[in-house]
Structure formats: C-alpha cells, structure tokens
Amino acid sequence: MAALADCHPVRPEDAEGLLALARELEIDLVVVGPEAPLVAGLADHLRHAGIKVFGPGKEAAQIEGSKSFAKEVMAAAGVPHAGVLAVARTPCVVKADGIAAGKGVWICETQEELDSALRAAAALGDHTVIEELLSGPELSVFALVAGADLLPLPSARDYSRVGDGDTGPNTGGMGCFSPVPGAPDLVDSLLRPVVEELARRGAPFVGCLYGGAILTDEGPRILEYNCRFGDPEAQVILPRLDADLLDLLHQAATGSLGGVAAAELREPCVSVVVASGGYPETPQVGRPIAGIEAAGAVGGVTVFHAGTAEEEGTLVATGGRVLNVTATGADFAEARRRAYSAVDLIHLEGSMHRTDIALAANDVEHVHA
C-alpha cells in the first residue's frame, strides 16, 4: 500500500481516530475492507458524522458477524441453506458463531475430528453452530449493494483448505480463480432475498455482499455470507472488471446502482496464495522475502501483499497468508502458468502454497445447476 498511497498509523478499530483522519484529509469516501470494524459499527460511526462509506452498518454486518443471526435471516428470507443440527454428530460442520478470519469452520467426518472441532470452537469463546455436511462444488457469489439495488460481480471459486486436493484444515483462502465455467446465476435467488430481509428489519445493506454457495444435487444452498469483498476472491474478481471501481463504490455508498453495469473482462484470472510455514495453526513470521519485483515482472502478473512489512529496509512476512500472486491469461492454462512461474521466483524460507489452484477450472463437471 505504501507504494501506491499514503499510509497513516490509525488502527481499523479506532473509530474516533479514523473519523478525525477523514476530517483532517477531507475524505469524500471511506471503503471499509476488514470484517471486524464493520461488525463493530465503524460504518455507522462515520456515516453519523456525514462521511460517505462503502460498507454495511453494524446491524447489517451481523450477516457475517453472527452465524446464528445469519441462519435466522436466511430462514425468514426463504433462502436454501445448510440445516442446523440439534445434536453434534458426524458427519457435520462445526462453526464458531462469531468472526474468525475464515478459520472458524471445521469439517468433521469422524468422532475424533468432531471432538477436536468442538474444543477449538469453545476456545474462541463464541456460541457454536452445528450444521449438516453438504456435498457438491462450491461457488463464491458477489454483488455490490446499495439498498434495493444489486450489481452482480463475476463468479469465483475459492480454495479454503490448506493442502492440495482440499486436504488439511480450513484457512482464510489458499487461492482462487474467476470466472467459474458453467456457474449458475445465483444473485437473485441467494443474495437479493437476504438484502430485502435486512431492509425489512431496518438494516439496509450498503457495500459488498458475498455468498459462499454449494451446488448440491438438490439445488444451490448458502453456506455463509460475508459482509465485504472476500480474500482471495477480490484479487481475481476486481482485475477482471472493465469499469471504474472507485465510481462503482461511490455510487453504492451514495445510495444508487440503478442503470450501472460492471462489464466483465473475458480474460480469466488465477490467484495463488504464498503462506508462511506452519500456517494456519502457527505461522512463522519475521522471515525476509525476496523476488517480488521479479515475480511482478512476469507478464499479466500482479503480486498483492497480504501479510508483509518493511523492517530496516527488508521486506518480511508478518502473517500466515503473505502474498497473493495473481495472473490473467488468454485461458486458465496461461493464467496458471504465469501465476506459478511468478510464485517460483519468490523466496520466503519455509513458505508453502497449493499447486492445484484452478487446475480443474475448465472442467465444467465441477459446477452444475
């Protein structure tokens, strides 16, 4: 960010500090990216002070902030979703009720996995939600929302498990691709009813609404909602938009997306996450990173920083997911080749990444209506 903009030392949870900064800089639009300040009500605080904000208020943000609230809204809106189990039994999915940076979900197929998941969820201190385990390809569905107006964005598929072949624990995302060949249009069936239900409850949604869907044999169902752009989905969706992103966000923040079109580029996009060794349980931080400039020089490649900092002139890893290496190409094969060629140029001791991102992207069998 420092290479592109002026950074200021204000924490995202410091609402008063951010308000003071926005006034000092005469900011016209605030875009709130992370979920935690949205759930805490940062957007409300800024709006009450007369500042335009892209991001939902506290009540609407509970669609991500509380799994139990989301279930209640889904049921009222008539959106098909994973059912809640009265008793924890395998197979099932255990979810921490609150936000957990994408890591509060455990797939449990054995009793040992269930016992471990219940302990991990309890350690987070939140109420625990137990869901039925659904089977089918997953799909990320996005729309920009301004009250009653929804503007669909391109589809994407995220790889949430840490290892190749969807093995290992859930993470915040190990890679992504867009578009998803053969993906059905689910905005009107899975996103719009929830937006309308939130408005009925006096909590109109303004911002980006993301639905994590699964395409079962019985039809599409929602697994969860996020109240902001997903990561790494944003890294493959936004580069494909043939539109002025700032204008789209400003129009959403000012209350109208009517007649706006976000033209989708034809070139597919693939993003591979480079993570620190030990992620997601115990990521190794503080290690130097080299080769980013060489990676970014590969045609069609952009390297997005996710968990880095500069210390005494050296770039170091500061988190679990360190970099998103993103590439466009004439087809998925070219985008993959570019992305992985760039990954190979990056050196971070002990780092890890999945090697199968978008490997089956052209196989339409992995998506069905």
Widest CA span of the chain, in angstroms? 56
CATH number of the domain where residue 304 is located: 3.90.600.10
Q: Is residue 53 part of a domain?
A: yes
Give the percent of the chain with pLDDT over 90: 78
* Residues whose CB is less than 8 angstroms from the CB of residue 290 and which lie 6 or more positions away in sequence, other chains included: 315, 346, 347, 348
Residues 99, 24: one domain?
A: no
Residue carrying the six token digits 């034809």: 266
| Residue 364 pLDDT | 45
The Cα-based distances of 132 to 62, 81, 85, 87 in angstroms read: 22, 10, 6, 10
| Residue 361 pLDDT | 84
Q: Is residue 141 part of a domain?
A: no
Structure confidence at residue 360 as a pLDDT band (50, 70, 90): confident
Q: How far apart are CA 121 and CA 118, in angstroms?
A: 5
Residues 50, 90: one domain?
A: no
Q: Is residue 323 part of a domain?
A: yes
Give the percent of the chain with pLDDT over 70: 95
Q: How far apart are CA 242 and CA 231, in angstroms?
A: 20
pLDDT at 206 over 50: yes
pLDDT at 368 over 50: no
Q: If you average pLDDT over every residue of the chain, what do you get?
A: 91
319 touches 348 (CB < 8 A): no
* Mean pLDDT of all residues in 296-323: 95
Q: Is residue 76 part of a domain?
A: no
For 88-123, the pLDDT digits (tens) are 999 999 988 887 666 688 889 999 999 999 988 888
Q: Is residue 321 part of a domain?
A: yes
* Residues whose CB is less than 8 angstroms from the CB of residue 5 and which lie 6 or more positions away in sequence, other chains included: none
Range of the domain at 43: 15-63
CATH number of the domain where residue 112 is located: 3.30.1490.20
What domain count does the chain have?
Answer: 3
60 touches 204 (CB < 8 A): yes
Q: Where are the alpha helices (DSSP H) in 111-269?
A: 111-123, 192-200, 233-237, 245-253
pLDDT at 362 over 90: no
| Residue 262 pLDDT | 67
Q: pTM of the predicted model, to two decimals? A: 0.89
Give the end of a domain, one of 100, 132, 164. 132
| Residue 36 pLDDT | 93
- Tell me, what DSSP letter sits at residue 364? G
Structure confidence at residue 365 as a pLDDT band (50, 70, 90): very low
* Mean pLDDT of all residues in 187-198: 96
Structure confidence at residue 4 as a pLDDT band (50, 70, 90): confident
Residues 300, 341: one domain?
A: yes
| Residue 277 pLDDT | 95
Residues 296, 365: one domain?
A: yes
